[in-house]
Structure 1
Amino acid sequence: MKKTFTYSTKQIATTIYDYVIFGTGYIGFSAALRLAKANYQVLLVESSGQLLWESTAALENQLSKQSKHPAWFDWIDDLRAFKACNEYYFDPVGAEILAAERLSSKAACPNIDTVLYAPTVSVEVLSQQIISVTLATKSGLQQIQARHWLDCTENAEIYKLTEPEADYTCRRQTQIWRIGLQSNQWQIVIDQLQKRNTATPITLIGSLKKEEQYLSWISHQGAWGQPLVEQLRTLRKELPKEASVIVSHCGMMPYPKYEISKTPSPLSIKCNNLTVLSPSVNAEIAPNSIEERFLVGATSHIPRPLHSELTGNTAKTVIAINKVISCDVLVAGTGTAGSIAAMASAQKGAKTIAIDSATHPGGIGAGGGITGYFYGISGGFQTQVDKLTNEITELLLGHAPSKDSWHHDAKKLAILQIFEQQQITFNGHLLLFDVEKKNGQVTAVYAASAGQVVKYEASSFIDSTGDGDLCTRAGAAYTIGRSGDGRNLAYSLAALALERKGAQLGLQTFNYDAGWLDPTSALDLTRARLTGIGLYKNSNAYKNGTLIAIAPILGIRQSRQIVTDYILQLDDLVSQRKFSDSIGEAGCHADSHSVDFEFEDDEMVFFYWACRLFRAPLRTQLPYRMLIPRGLTNVWIACRAAGMSPNAFYAIRMQRDMQRLGEIAGKAAAQLAAQNNHVSARDIKLSTLLRDQTETFDPTDPYGTQTASDPTPLKTLENGQSGLSLWQIYQSPKTYSSQIKSTLNSDNLNATFYTACVLAMWNDPTAETRLLTAIHNKEIGAINPQDNAGAYGQEIDIPFWLLAIILLRRCGTNTCNQTLVIESANHEHLLNVRTSIALTVERLIQKASIAFADALAITENLMASIPPDSNQLPSRSIARSMRNEKQITLPNNSGAEKKEDHLWQLHLVICRIQSACGQQPTLAKSYQDDERVHVRDHFHNLQIKARERTHQVNPPSHQAN
């Protein structure tokens, strides 16, 4: 008898759908298009982020041309219009872009909703009907309801959940594996491969791209890991060097071909509102080509939805535990940090299991396509991984990689090989959704995959999920996003493209900022994934036929920050702080990929816009305490969610930094497990963890040299310069407060302004007069774009007068109110000027320095017209916009860029001002259906707080009976 537990669930969507379809392969996708076209309300559910996996993950690209069904012809016509097919082949990446565009566009498919990253864990059946299904998501378990359900997963995941004791036979299949090859000399390659004589026959299959062919072979034992490496070694020996063949990408899944049964046995299905179109168990269908798979969804009999009454209420779900697995150390997440953590743990002798939501380890440096280091220091286990990755990269490309870069598939293969050598158990395609905890000690975690729930018991746990999922489920406190609008850094979605260099071919990665999201929400992850894929439609790489594949993993830069025993701060990096519990060093600049710094906290505004230190080399030691979540005794947080303030995070988030955190966490977790939990994570002896650490900064690296502090910062200030000297003065008010005010009388306008900036940061009202002068005179100040360039080379400075408006939130009194009223009435002001005014007004309300009537009048002014630049690129320059100068854009051959409506940021601050003044946030209602979850939730929370406040001020009256 399987163990079970009961779980309270929430609704992932309020809609009760006509049909819910599981699986986003060609069968599920075509079924969704068909039913939506018939005006049914459809939800498409997928446990991963992969669309049309048969071509994007298994690399099938052939057209069979056997059917004349209109649905298939419509799809082919769309591909043809996309320039994504010819008579014989279609382009997998083109099909993926088209599918994403269909699913993300309400204009194209208004009746289809999609939820990715949501494996099924439970099905509730009543009177032979499925009434609800429970999904595991980043936000916990969530329910969906529908009148009819379609199981289009390859292995009948939903059917098996409804009838766990059913007698069925999985059909025999042939597994076909593929890798993509690129060459300019295919005839030489073909002649050579025809001579090969090996036990594993291979086939070359053409492509829509002239340089590309797919190498295909049959394997029933699987082809990933070491078998693929051996196949590649053999292939590299046989390929002629003069053909310059490179392996561009490897299929991550096999393409299945099923034996056709002459006397198919109908599948017995007890639930009368379930249709099973899963090829592995439904012998009545035999979809071996892409066309046949598409037509299964487009033509199979699907009953009309039953008109049963469904409540839409949340419920308690009974979850069956399919397996219980024990180990010493459980590593949740095998990305940049987690894969190294598992290696370090196993090397210390701990029985280690590593789980991941992806089907492979490596994270952003593998499936995310970010195949290069951006600063950071080497040493430790990452050196071993890098060495093997470079060897496999040379195998794939035919030549050594450039410094600090690698092939995305090489890193996956290298990590898997080391896992095998160290006997690390890797379980992929598993989403962690809950934990067990007792007295601050985590005892087990629960993870879901393909209709299965696995319970992992361990002595030590390492949270390398990137989002702090394990810690959060265990009750650890966390922060998320920056202070002004709660927004995280922009996410990216990388893609692989062919690089033509005359007769030589190479690979290049495109990586662009695609927008913002809430990475803890399955709905927002889905929106971000579909939007990010769709943007490549307009990229030059797709238009010129060089786009090869889109990364299967989103490039999420920032999520939760877990509250740990020590929270790393920005000044730790600026002042290059030393720690007694140091586990290594890190260095970079505070690279935020943002421009709207008015939403940062005051310290970051001062750092970026007053001190002008965006590119300043930062360096610090990393304290062990930043890995230990408060309130937990046997858990380490080793990933981007480690203990850092948002300001420090901007610099300490690079891949080498994360690998360092992972290695220390792995060693510590193994040590704790060996002591049978008689000690906690806080009692680990650091000397034993650091014994074999080797790390040195490259002396040619600007982050490897100490940034000298200014011995005479006051003199520098008197000369009208900002920089590090300004930061030093700000950090030492006791030393400089009595000396600095005399500089306000200087004849140097830059000196007086920078002095006012420091005084404002000290909350000194004597700064107000100088700041108001800058506003009245519209002072530009000492802008030098070369000195303070942001992401993509953008100039990130702003004029003195705008910075003055922002800093009034620190030192302003009621004297500045009239100036703010005048500025707010200027309808030519751009969006960031208006948000800066609004944020200052909000702070003045908190300080009781402005009357409610004046504050509300300013908000009316700010909303009187729509800013001309509401739709903005993620990478842009505010100063350039204010000067009506052309923005710096990404190189012409790079990936797509997305403009997004940012008016919500102004409206959010205005709603907060209205709430602070005792009014209802009038604009919040217009965002209640915003497709961006991170936007919608901010306004929803404001409305809740407003209702609570109204209830407290005006409690409901009750009449006596």
Structure 2
Amino acid sequence: MQLCQLRNSTRHVESVAEPQETWDLIVVGLGTAGAIAAVAAARHGLRVLGLDRHTVMGGVGTGGAVIGYYFGSRGGVYERLDEQARATEQEVFTPSHGVNAEGKQYVLEREALQAGATLRYETTITGVLLEGRTVKGLACFSPERGSYTAGARIVIDGTGNAELARWIGAELRGGRAFDGQPQPFSNPLVRLDGKRVRGFYTDSGYVRPEQPASMSAAIVDSALLSTHLRDTYTEEERFLRVAPQLGVREGPFIVGEDNVTLASFLDDDYTREPVFIAYSNIDNHSKDVAFESDLQRDWTVVAGLWGLKFTVPIPLGALIPQGFDGLLVAGRALAVDHDMASCVRMKRDMQQCGEAAAAAAYLAIKRDLPLAEVPYAELAPLLRESGCLPERHKVYFEPRVAAGEPAPPAIEWLTEPEDIRTGLAGDKPGIAIWSARRLGEAIRQHLRQWLQTEQGGHLQRHSAFALALLGDEAAAPVLREMVAERDPFVPRTSLKYNQVRGYTAVYLLGKLADREAASELIALLHTREAFRFDDANREFLSDERDLRFQYVSNAVTALARIGDRHTDLRDRIARAFARFRDELDGTLIISFKGTSEIRHVMDDKLAHYTRQAAARWREERDHAHAAAAADRMAATSSTVADEDAGRRPSRVDGV
């Protein structure tokens, strides 16, 4: 048996003796997913050891003070535990809007212990025991017990950051492609609202939760922000508690035996054997959306579908690190990608993820099978019995509505041209735009015809959006018009987070690599005025400064793509980028969701993006010059060889 450790971020492996104690299942990280996994597994009759470096069970729902729910699927063990936690309010804890944090922690610990689980807090994992590529246990340290090893048939990584998966060398990914940045983190707080406790939050910045230095800086810096540390507090602003745990939305993800990506999901490629069903919208809190993937921008910016909720079936393979056995990853580090993670991360769903992991571990141990071979025919009924998995499930989409409004009917993608035309002609064109994208060639000629309708009208401009998503350059002239006039219209497809039509056109001109737009986009880099702010869109944009950043950041990414396509424009764009960097003065900023007080200066991101593009072009140019020089040298060598051959006397047999 080998012990895998991380020393100065380097993986170290050494041989060890048999573990000092053994368990059926060890759960590391008793947070949102891990707490439910420990309770559920113990109820299945497994000998369970639960470990956490903190002194609280329940994660963001308890120590993190996120006491409400934002979507997610109902059903399963967590719902009955929530009911018990609410019952404690009658006798012990303060009534809450949501699930009282202290009450839930008490119930989780009580139920875990009554089911037979052993809980150990203030415990640090120092290594992972491996046989080949199968996890066999852990090396641990706590002030009470010192260093020791614990063996297990299965280990659940509920750390949220795939820490155990990283130690054994499993492949991880995370963040967006441009800079690896995850979503912003938040600072949850609680205060009295009448006679009940209410939780709220403000987004406070960015953090890499797997990096200790990044976490330490985020904890300290965010505590000193004006949203928390005020000169004076009104009665309404006084806090009962600032959560000691940051509201981290995203960290690393495993590459699993099965992987759930937004691209495959939107192409109708998803599992028919789910262990739970996630349910939310693409709730990405980042406002520097120009640096997100094309797919996410197509969905949330062009089509304005940020608020469209949908169900996502999650297979067991998304909890198993690819190529390994004996380890399940439960919680936000499961095998999704950055684009899908904004949807598959809600508290309800992560609790169901923990329950699914516990059920899979139980069957693997009971049947003495590798995790990847747990029979779905046995796993599904186990999850249905508790309500974690519905009896019948299907993928569906529905709009998000304001609180108190009746639940809307499920959305059907449009297939008839007249229905798409009607949608494009209105102020909520998103479903029609995405429906046109799905239809592709079947709708192209209709879109081109509608492009010739009344200049400046919704039908013409939204048809241009749909055509651009199909890569059709016929949309470019209309898109250029929108950019030139800084079209201020904001479609209302989503309840919130709708995007201004003017800078959406900027993005699409880059997607088309439209060379004729280069001059207008370069001018945008230096423009500081003439951006018309719509106060009705304050949820996404706080003011004109936020709006200017959206135009400029989209112009930067669009120009880079134009340069990628058109080599003759690269020098001009590179010079414009250099001048732009010289002019950066801290005025290109974004606000964060939940507050307009906190501003994040984007100069470094913009400078990095422009330098990255210029370096890419220089590298391609140097490579082309080197290849041309090599070709010239080869041609010269061939010519000399031919001339030498002409001067060499011919061979005559026998001479």
TM-score range, shorter chain: 0.7 to 0.9
- The 10-residue stretch of structure 1 (326-335 or 358-367) with the greater mean CA deviation from structure 2: 326-335
1:614 aligns with 2:614: no
1:538 aligns with 2:241: no
Which position in structure 2 is the counterpart of 1:455? 149
Instruction: Output the amino acid matched with 1:706.
Output: A
User: In 2, Cα distance between the equivalents of 1:702 and 1:319?
Assistant: 61
Quickly say closer, same or farther: Cα 1:836–1:339, change in 2 above 3 A: same
Identity, in percent, stands at 19
User: In 2, Cα distance between the equivalents of 1:644 and 1:360?
Assistant: 27
Which position in structure 1 is the counterpart of 2:380? 687
Tell me how far 1:764 sits from its aligned partner: 3.0
**2:130 aligned residue (437, 449, 453):** 437
1:913 aligns with 2:589: no
Tell me how far 1:411 sits from its aligned partner: 1.1
User: In 2, Cα distance between the equivalents of 1:728 and 1:835?
Assistant: 28
1:475 aligns with 2:169: yes
Quickly say closer, same or farther: Cα 1:759–1:360, change in 2 above 3 A: same
Q: Please show how residues 372-451 of structure 1 align to structure 2 within 5 Å.
A: 372-397=68-93, 401-402=96-97, 405-450=98-143
Structure 2 length normalisation: TM-score? 0.80
Q: Please show how residues 261-300 of structure 1 align to structure 2 within 5 Å.
A: none
For structure 2, list consecutive stretches of 5 or more residues without a partner in the other structure: 532-547, 630-655
User: In 2, Cα distance between the equivalents of 1:875 and 1:605?
Assistant: 18
Tell me how far 1:761 sits from its aligned partner: 2.4
User: In 1, Cα distance between the equivalents of 2:337 and 2:296?
Assistant: 11
Question: Helix, strand or coil: the match of 2:149?
Answer: strand
Instruction: Output the amino acid matched with 1:9.
Output: R
Which position in structure 2 is the counterpart of 1:852? 570
Instruction: Output the amino acid matched with 1:857.
Output: R
**1:345 aligned residue (41, 50, 56):** 41
Aligned residues: 587
User: In 2, Cα distance between the equivalents of 1:562 and 1:702?
Assistant: 38
- The 10-residue stretch of structure 1 (836-845 or 600-609) with the greater mean CA deviation from structure 2: 836-845
Q: Please show how residues 451-850 of structure 1 align to structure 2 within 5 Å.
A: 452-499=146-193, 501=194, 505-535=195-225, 536-538=228-230, 541=233, 546-570=238-262, 579-677=271-369, 680-681=372-373, 683=375, 685-694=378-387, 705-712=409-416, 713-720=419-426, 721-747=428-454, 749-781=457-489, 783-784=490-491, 787-790=493-496, 796-798=498-500, 800-826=501-527, 828=529, 830-848=548-566
Quickly say closer, same or farther: Cα 1:343–1:572, change in 2 above 3 A: farther
Instruction: Output the amino acid matched with 1:391.
Output: A
User: In 1, Cα distance between the equivalents of 2:608 and 2:156?
Assistant: 37
User: In 2, Cα distance between the equivalents of 1:396 and 1:472?
Assistant: 41
**1 or 2, which has the higher helix percentage?**
2
Instruction: Output the amino acid matched with 1:772.
Output: R
1:490 and 1:514 in contact (8 A); partners too: yes
1:564 and 1:629 in contact (8 A); partners too: yes
Tell me how far 1:678 sits from its aligned partner: 5.3
Instruction: Output the amino acid matched with 2:499.
Output: D
Question: Helix, strand or coil: the match of 2:89?
Answer: helix
Question: Helix, strand or coil: the match of 1:770?
Answer: helix
Quickly say closer, same or farther: Cα 1:540–1:598, change in 2 above 3 A: farther
Tell me how far 1:577 sits from its aligned partner: 7.7
User: In 1, Cα distance between the equivalents of 2:210 and 2:60?
Assistant: 17
Instruction: Output the amino acid matched with 2:294.
Output: D
For structure 1, list consecutive stretches of 5 or more residues without a partner in the other structure: 11-138, 142-315, 877-888, 891-896, 921-945, 954-961
Quickly say closer, same or farther: Cα 1:575–1:373, change in 2 above 3 A: farther
2:129 and 2:135 in contact (8 A); partners too: yes
Tell me how far 1:317 sits from its aligned partner: 12
Question: Helix, strand or coil: the match of 2:54?
Answer: coil
User: In 2, Cα distance between the equivalents of 1:557 and 1:868?
Assistant: 27
Residues 919-946 of structure 1 deviation map (CA, whole Å, 9 limit, x = unaligned):
89xxxxxxxxxxxxxxxxxxxxxxxxx9
Question: Helix, strand or coil: the match of 1:375?
Answer: coil
Question: Helix, strand or coil: the match of 2:244?
Answer: coil
Question: Helix, strand or coil: the match of 1:396?
Answer: coil
User: In 2, Cα distance between the equivalents of 1:761 and 1:565?
Assistant: 32
Quickly say closer, same or farther: Cα 1:571–1:416, change in 2 above 3 A: same
Instruction: Output the amino acid matched with 1:529.
Output: I
User: In 2, Cα distance between the equivalents of 1:383 and 1:342?
Assistant: 15
Residues 708-729 of structure 1 deviation map (CA, whole Å, 9 limit, x = unaligned):
3335343235525512121121
User: In 2, Cα distance between the equivalents of 1:675 and 1:681?
Assistant: 10
Residues 632-676 of structure 1 deviation map (CA, whole Å, 9 limit, x = unaligned):
233222201222232222222111111111111110011112233
Q: Please show how residues 247-326 of structure 1 align to structure 2 within 5 Å.
A: 324-326=20-22
Tell me how far 1:415 sits from its aligned partner: 0.6
User: In 1, Cα distance between the equivalents of 2:101 and 2:15?
Assistant: 37
1:485 and 1:908 in contact (8 A); partners too: no
1:495 and 1:510 in contact (8 A); partners too: yes
User: In 2, Cα distance between the equivalents of 1:613 and 1:540?
Assistant: 40
User: In 1, Cα distance between the equivalents of 2:13 and 2:319?
Assistant: 34
**2:57 aligned residue (335, 348, 361):** 361
Quickly say closer, same or farther: Cα 1:808–1:431, change in 2 above 3 A: farther
Residues 473-502 of structure 1 deviation map (CA, whole Å, 9 limit, x = unaligned):
222222211234322111112233344x4x
Quickly say closer, same or farther: Cα 1:633–1:8, change in 2 above 3 A: closer
Tell me how far 1:418 sits from its aligned partner: 0.7
User: In 2, Cα distance between the equivalents of 1:645 and 1:336?
Assistant: 20
User: In 2, Cα distance between the equivalents of 1:5 and 1:439?
Assistant: 11
Tell me how far 1:343 sits from its aligned partner: 1.9
Residues 2-29 of structure 1 deviation map (CA, whole Å, 9 limit, x = unaligned):
x99796733xxxxxxxxxxxxxxxxxxx
User: In 2, Cα distance between the equivalents of 1:752 and 1:326?
Assistant: 68
Structure 1 length normalisation: TM-score? 0.56
Question: Helix, strand or coil: the match of 2:229?
Answer: helix
1:334 aligns with 2:40: no
